[in-house]
Amino acid sequence: MASLPEQSRDALAASLGIDIDDALLELALTHRSFAYENGGIPTNERLEFLGDSILGQAVTVMLYRSYPDLDEGHLAKRRASLVSSVALAEVARSIELGQYIRLGRGEILTGGRDKASILADTVEAIIGAVYLDKGGDVATPFVLRLIEPLLADPDRFGVAMDPKTSLQEIAAHHGGPAPVYAITESGPDHDKRFVATVTVGKVTANGEGTSKKNAEMAAALEAWSRLTGRK
């Protein structure tokens, strides 16, 4: 079972702006498909669970302090956008995280390195690893540094916040038909996976997620990227 090469660890550390304990980093990068193919070794899912909580707290406090005039509803909407799988996948792509994730052969062949759900889950797992390795005083600024690109690009932030509306708007701007979505699902009840296909005129795009909403958001962002050339 191959470990992450030292050169790759160094490159990822440079992209993240932080060194993480080797064992924790490898665990954070271990998708369940890889674990299954290698004898049922531990996966990154527990770290993902932890990182989700750290992410939510850091973003909530940041928004509360940064936007004193926003009411609870608007703060909640902004928080949901920043911690969504679509937004986290954007963060992952910006640091080319997909190339480092340990995936099973099947996931690799089906484009797993660019699936929004896998990218987002891995970002959360890395946040969890940073928290365990460095503590909350380091993990919080690390989270805020990760999401900074979304806040620094208002157009992209708006799309990540509501990609379905953004796609509808650009389709209307080009005089095309409204987006049409189709959903397929697979897996047992406790671990459903959804794939959304959206068609906008001659453009068709797919997205995957753990809910219908997340899958549609991922598909909408992919279609928006193709229509605008902002991949």
**Any idea which residues carry the catalytic annotation?**
52, 124
Sort strands 180-186 and 203-209 into parallel, antiparallel or unpaired: unpaired
Q: Rounded to an integer, what distance in angstroms lies between the CA atom of residue 11 and that of residue 188?
A: 37
Mention every residue, 6+ apart, whose C-beta is less than 8 A from residue 216.
Answer: 164, 181, 183, 196, 198, 207, 209
Q: Which of 216, 204, 180 is nearest to 85 (CA)?
A: 216
Residue 228 and residue 209 in contact, taking contact as beta carbons nearer than 8 Å: no
| Residue 71 among known ligand-binding residues | no
Task: Please list the residues that pair with 193 across neighbouring strands.
Answer: 186
Look-up of token digits 């389709």:
171
Q: Which of 114, 124, 54 is nearest to 88 (CA)?
A: 124
| Residue 189 among known ligand-binding residues | no
| Residue 48 among known ligand-binding residues | yes
Residue 210 and residue 117 in contact, taking contact as beta carbons nearer than 8 Å: yes
Binding residues for Mg(2+): 48, 121, 124
User: Which residues are documented as binding site?
Assistant: 48, 121, 124
